Chain A
Amino acid sequence: MHPVQLFCWHFMAYPHLPEDFDEKYDTGWVTVPNSLWDSEKSRGLFQEYIDQLACADDLGFDGLVLNEHHQNIYGLMPSPNLIAAALTQRSSKARICVLGNLLPLHINPLRVAEEYAMLDNMSNGRIIAGFAPGGGPENYNYDIPSVTSRERFWEAVDLVVRAWTDDGPFNHEGHYYPLRYVNPWPKPTQKPHPPIWVPGSRSASTLTEVAKRGYCYFLSSRSHGGETYKAREQFSKVLEDHGDSYQPYRMGILMSAYVSETDAQAREECEEGVWYFLRNCLKGHLRKEGRQLTFGAGVPYIPAPAWKEFLKHSDPNRSMLGDVNDWDELDKAQSIVVGSPETVHRKILDLIEKSQVGNLLIQFHLGNMPGELALKSQRLFATEVAPALREDSARVFAKAYPRMEETLAAGAVA
Chain B
Amino acid sequence: MSGRTLDLNGRKVSVLEDGAGEPTLYLHGFADVHAVTEGWLPFHEKLMESCRLYAPAHPGCAASDEIEYLESAEDLVFHYLEVIDALELDRFHLVGTCVGGWIAAELATRHPEKVRRLVLIDASGLFVSGAPIGDIFMMSHPVRGTDYSELRAMLFENDRTQVGHALFPDGRAENIEDELRRYQMIRFSNRFGFNPPYFYNRSLRSRLRRIAAPTLVVWGESDQMVPLAHGEAYAAGIDNSNGVSLVKGAGHSPQAEQPEATADLVKGFLSG
Contact = CB atoms under 8 A, between A and B. Distances in A.
Contact of A304 (B171, B172, B183, B191): B183
Contacts of A147: 187, 190-191, 194
B137 interface: yes
A41 interface: no
A318 B171 CA distance: 11
Interface stretch (B102-110, B120-128, B143-151, B156-164): B143-151
B1 interface: no
B198 interface: yes
B202 to A, nearest CB: 15
Contacts of B139: 298
A308 interface: yes
Contact of A311 (B135, B143, B179): B179
Interface string B175-198: 010011011101100111011101
Given A307-B180, A308-B180, A311-B176, A296 B141 contact: yes
Contact of A292 (B141, B172, B176, B191): B141
Contact of A316 (B172, B182, B191): B172
Interface in A263-314: 288-293, 296-300, 303-304, 307-308, 311-312
Contacts of A292: 141, 145
A293 B141 contact: yes
A300 B144 contact: no
A297 B141 contact: yes
A311 B180 contact: yes
B140 interface: yes
Contacts of B145: 288, 292, 316-318
Nearest to B60: A304
B142 interface: yes
A8 B187 CA distance: 38
Contact of A317 (B140, B146, B182, B184): B146
Given A289-B144, A311-B172, A312-B176, A300 B186 contact: yes
Given A312-B176, A316-B171, A146 B194 contact: yes
B146 A297 contact: no
A47 B47 CA distance: 67
Give the residue among B143, B145, B171, B186 with the most A Cβ atoms within 10 A.
B145
A298 B141 contact: yes
A317 B144 CA distance: 8
Contacts of B138: 30, 140, 291, 293, 298
Contacts of B172: 311, 316
Nearest to A284: B141
Contacts of A299: 137, 141
Contacts of B194: 139, 143-147
9 contacts: A145-B192, A145-B195, A291-B141, A291-B142, A292-B141, A296-B140, A296-B142, A316-B142, A317-B171
Closest 10 pairs (CB-CB, A-B): A298-B140, A300-B187, A298-B137, A145-B194, A297-B140, A288-B145, A143-B196, A298-B141, A296-B141, A145-B195
Given A30-B138, A143-B195, 11 more contacts: A140-B138, A147-B187, A148-B71, A148-B195, A297-B140, A298-B137, A299-B137, A299-B141, A304-B183, A304-B187, A317-B146
